A and B are shown apart, each in its own frame.
Chain A
């Protein structure tokens, strides 16, 4: 379960001892106006038809990648969208940008329904909403020099050189040397390529950036660099982010509001702190308890909720609550025939679960088989350091004993 107590202590100690870090300053400065919505998505559906047949393609069903999603993104905020593979978060991001065609629903960007635009209008609105892609190598044309990559947005919209950020400025903003301009993507490391992708995304001063797994393809020690860069840029350029990721810890860190997706729908949405302190939805609970934490004491003492089985196919989702087939808290009524809607639990915290209140109050317990108690560890087989004894080096600890 969550460790709220440890959480607060750590926070208090931090605030008292250390000067405001860039991350902290960044959060204080941003004021989020709840009502000024830059992006407002309502009832978005993206269905992919499944075709079959030898001579003529018949549509025999559809993959319901996104199945009725509402999302509000206030100007200047960062909204995180988390979920595992198959939940539809990537498709959602692409549908918002019309990189994939929505099957239904509306996407209001700054008041205009993007889902209905076409041709030149769509192209023009694209200036203001950009995407950062997961794979830094695949999202750059290997034959394009960095300079070409960064000037392409400007050229595509016929903007004169002086009226958009220069290549030098962009490189500087993302922390790359000016000499990068004449080089090609394959000459850079993964982290640097991702920076190029970010520079490209901000080239035209967009309002909204959708970051699709911005750091998951990077080495661990580089991820933090890019996360910090994104926060810094948000500060400097007044950007609004939608961060799509499967890494809960990264999203917790960077997002103000987090929405959890499962099999095409949002199951819970709350501010980042509230979600962590008190997740209501069983899937969120399981997701959180599954994330490894680099602290052996916590790992040893935390209780885990384990899910059984696999993700159902999005082409054939379960009836009723989509999660009920794997839910440790499933009840005999309502769960398998009635699809739960998002309901308000507390201000800014919505959950799609019929039994959320009872679960939260402890009236409903998870199935015993799904709960893994705090690990019972035998004493480690040895007391000393696990390297071979070397007569030239200082002595090892006490000999192995079980």
Chain B
């Protein structure tokens, strides 16, 4: 029975890609998390971690063929994974909205921005004509697009990257969704623009009380924006904690490794980088132990035998047989 009070409750989500003649790929392998209203949750991982696929599964945006989705996604009393497509289409955009990474490919290049925004309003809020146009202009203004009335008539290629992303955010927030999923929303943007967009997201989420699920590979963004963080590796969550705890005391060697390998702007010049050996492709199947084992300096025998279980404690969830100790900052 789902825990009461969580806005979004994902349980044991799994996504398997099947292709004729090739082995199945478990992109998401038993992922569970919850998100509450007003909360910002971070899903951190590199390529191959399954973080984007997780969000697509929650939104029901994965293709039907060649994909097997398992588990439950509870939202507002429904399991989204079992809803008929029309119901899901109602929810998408209205209650749960998504902002994607590359604003250029997420916007229709031959349709003016204004129409793309009003389209959302028409679909979900039944607004038409002048009312919709006014609402669209207000939305653009809210997200910081200068001279919104003029922008409504412009095409995506006439706007800069930052403006396009703002337009996408406007579209996502048009119907005041309760959950906003942002998948690498600033990766394609310059860093000063990124700062603007992140500030905007923070503000909008605070004002609307929506929940924000932020998917990113950038630990710096997570440190500044998220309340809780889940670190994903090869389809499973390997560590979850509130942000202060995670950064101050990472316990999973992967988390520690990431923190130790990222150059920091405030680090002294001589500080060494400790890269994680190997590459994200050096994987062990979870069924045979721990997927991170081939690259892990803390590896012990059980890591090569059985899947480590997710153990929860008051301040953290951890999936590791031999986690970092409190005094170890990074694996040597």
Contacts and interface: CB of A to CB of B under 8 A. Distances in A.
Q: Do A and B contact each other directly (Cβ–Cβ < 8 Å)?
A: yes
B315 A385 contact: yes
Given A382-B39, A386-B41, A191 B221 contact: no
A246 B258 contact: no
Interface in A1-44: 2-3, 6-8, 10-11, 14-15, 21-24, 27
Interface string B257-278: 1110111111111111111110
A290 interface: yes
A7 B268 contact: yes
A70 interface: no
Contacts of B146: 309
B201 to A, nearest CB: 13
B85 interface: no
B47 interface: yes
A373 to B, nearest CB: 11
Interface stretch (A98-106, A329-337, A388-396): A388-396
Interface stretch (B27-35, B131-139, B172-180): B27-35
A387 B195 CA distance: 29
Interface string A152-169: 000000000000000000
B46 A224 contact: no
Contacts of A286: 192
Interface string B232-253: 0000010011111001000000
B259 to A, nearest CB: 6
Interface in A247-290: 247-250, 252-254, 272-273, 276, 286-290
B34 A388 contact: yes
B195 A289 contact: yes
A287 B191 contact: yes
A27 B243 contact: no
Contacts of A253: 263, 267, 269, 271, 273
B141 interface: no
Given A246-B191, A386-B39, A387-B312, A296 B243 contact: yes
A15 B9 CA distance: 46
B312 A394 contact: yes
A312 B47 CA distance: 33
A10 to B, nearest CB: 6
Contacts of A85: 190
Nearest to A221: B276
A191 B224 CA distance: 28
Given A295-B247, A385-B241, A386-B39, A273 B269 contact: yes
A38 B310 CA distance: 56
A228 B273 contact: yes
A248 B191 contact: yes
A139 interface: no
A375 B267 CA distance: 22
Given A10-B268, A382-B36, A385-B316, A222 B192 contact: no
B226 to A, nearest CB: 9
Given A292-B224, A293-B220, A304 B272 contact: no
A386 B160 contact: no
Contact of A400 (B36, B268, B314): B36
A112 B313 CA distance: 66
A297 interface: yes
Given A310-B160, A387-B34, A221 B275 contact: yes
B281 A293 contact: no
Contacts of A310: 160, 162-163, 193
Interface residues of B, number: 82
Given A306-B195, A388-B11, A381 B190 contact: no
A384 interface: yes
Contacts of B220: 291-294, 299
Contacts of B280: 189, 219, 221-222
Interface string A208-252: 000000000001111111011000000000000000001111101
B191 A220 contact: no
A223 B32 CA distance: 30
Interface centre among B9, B224, B310, B311 (most CB of A within 10 A): B224
Interface residues of A, number: 81
Contacts of B285: none
A221 B194 contact: no
B102 interface: no
Contact of B261 (A3, A220, A248, A395): A220
A189 B47 CA distance: 12
A137 interface: no
Given A6-B266, A220-B262, A221-B257, A380 B228 contact: yes
A386 B3 contact: no
Given A286-B192, A386-B240, A249 B265 contact: yes
Nearest to A8: B268
Contacts of B258: 220-221
B184 interface: no
A398 B258 CA distance: 29
B275 A224 contact: yes
A290 B194 contact: yes
A77 interface: no
B5 interface: yes
Interface of B: 2-3, 5-6, 9-11, 32-39, 41, 46-47, 146, 160, 162-163, 190-196, 198-199, 202, 217-224, 227-228, 230, 237, 240-244, 247, 257-259, 261-277, 279-281, 309-317
The 8 A-B residue pairs with the shortest CB-CB distance, nearest first, are A292-B220, A21-B272, A224-B275, A299-B224, A290-B195, A11-B268, A224-B261, A84-B190
10 contacts: A11-B270, A23-B272, A84-B191, A249-B264, A249-B267, A292-B223, A293-B265, A386-B34, A387-B240, A388-B6
Interface of A: 2-3, 6-8, 10-11, 14-15, 21-24, 27, 84-85, 189, 191-192, 219-225, 227-228, 246-250, 252-254, 272-273, 276, 286-300, 304, 306-311, 372, 375, 380-382, 384-390, 393-398, 400, 402
